[in-house]
Amino acid sequence: MAPLKHLLGIEGLNPVAVTNLLDLAESYALLNRSGKTQRDLLRGRTLINLFFEDSTRTRTSFELAGRRLGADVVNMAVATSSVSKGETLLDTAATLNAMNCDLLVVRHNSSGAPALLAQKVGASVINAGDGTHEHPTQALLDALTIRRNKGRLSGLTIAICGDIAHSRVARSNILLLTMMNNFVRLVGPPTLMPGGIGVGGVEIFHDMAAGLQGADIVMMLRLQKERMSGGPVPSSREFFAFYGLDRAKLAHAKPDALIMHPGPMNRGVEIASEVADDPQRSRIKEQVEMGVAVRMAVLETCARSNY
């Protein structure tokens, strides 16, 4: 596929680029299952994980992905509390430039921080989640999981439920899934719905029964309290009663509908264990597995732009 210097968001990709990334990721999914690696591909390259926000899955899977391709991987610990964000980023950019890093994976609580860094460093910048803006590798791994299970990535009805307003995962998924001609439904209370989002192939529902009716995929999102101001949700118990996914609500979706969640899950708040752990319906573990494969594909594709 055509080289990609940075991956800052799904915005800016097209269906061919998405399909090529998923095809490459699929080949890595098979390689990973076989227990083999490709350690010659990124040998001599340096990957820096620069996480200004906590992460379990994303940071670990970028690290694994880099190592499986043979890169030298460094995790940089960053403290954000005492320095203003602008200064931190620009100082960090100067430091990273001096280190000649090839691939820079960035997570930041400010939307747009990876794009700013991309202007200041020589490395390829990969957005690992910025504020409420985008989380492109999550949308790609979700797309790969859907495609493997449904045999296609178009014409599907996908309900994204819960805290849409504060979710970069929702934003990247809406962009990717509508680009690939799916029907996207956003389901949640009005207080957790961002303004101006009900356009172009996206429908909004405030009721789970209506929103899940006939859905092929039910994607649940956590209440991202760290990004909330005021109290958009009365209580976790009440939220679960209206919007938490359990067997009764899932029954409105298609009988073979699959459950997804980007993690971390809050059991008993947005999702019940009875559905999260249902091996027939839940694809949450497969999402984590596909995360490594997708990140290998993204790292390879970005690294090629620097050859």
Closest distance of CB 137 from ligand ASP, Å? 10
Show the tokens assigned to 281: 């319906």
Phi/psi for 202 (5° steps) reads -120, 130
Q: At what angle do helices 136-150 and 284-304 cross, to 10 degrees?
A: 120
Closest to 264 (Cα-Cα) out of 129, 140, 106, 148: 129
Closest to 242 (Cα-Cα) out of 192, 171, 183: 192
* Length of the chain in terms of residues written: 307
Residues 249-268 touching ligand ASP, rule: CB under 6 A, are 262-263
Residues 83-142 touching ligand ASP, rule: CB under 6 A, are 129, 135
Closest distance of CB 167 from ligand ASP, Å? 7
- Ramachandran assignment for 46, one of left (phi > 0), alpha (psi -120 to 50 degrees), beta (any other): beta
Answer yes or no: are the C-beta atoms of 137 and 13 closer than 8 Å. Answer: no
Show the tokens assigned to 146: 């859907």
- 168, 171, 252, 295: residue in contact with ligand ASP (rule CB under 6 A): 168
Tell me, by CB under 6 A, how many residues bind ligand ASP. 8
Tell me the residue number closest to ligand ASP, measured at CB. Answer: 222
Answer yes or no: are the C-beta atoms of 96 and 48 closer than 8 Å. Answer: yes
Closest distance of CB 219 from ligand ASP, Å? 11
Closest distance of CB 169 from ligand ASP, Å? 5
Closest distance of CB 166 from ligand ASP, Å? 8
State in Å, rounded, how far the first CA of the chain is from the last one: 14
Closest distance of CB 226 from ligand ASP, Å? 9
- 45, 108, 185, 222: residue in contact with ligand ASP (rule CB under 6 A): 222
Closer by beta carbon to ligand ASP, 168 or else 295: 168
Strand ranges across the sheet with 258-260? 202-205, 183-187, 157-161, 217-220, 258-260
Binding pattern for the stretch 22-41 against ligand ASP, x by CB under 6 A and - elsewhere? --------------------
Closer by beta carbon to ligand ASP, 56 or else 95: 56
Closer by beta carbon to ligand ASP, 168 or else 283: 168
Chain centroid to CA 230:
26
Task: Determine the Cα–Cα distance for residues 127 and 150; give it in Å rounded to an integer.
Answer: 27
Binding pattern for the stretch 176-215 against ligand ASP, x by CB under 6 A and - elsewhere? ----------------------------------------
- 115, 224, 228, 289: residue in contact with ligand ASP (rule CB under 6 A): 224
Task: Determine the Cα–Cα distance for residues 222 and 201; give it in Å rounded to an integer.
Answer: 23
Closest distance of CB 286 from ligand ASP, Å? 16
Closest distance of CB 122 from ligand ASP, Å? 26
Closer by beta carbon to ligand ASP, 224 or else 236: 224
Task: Determine the Cα–Cα distance for residues 267 and 88; give it in Å rounded to an integer.
Answer: 35
Would you tell me which residues interact with ligand ASP (CB under 6 A)? 129, 135, 168-169, 222, 224, 262-263
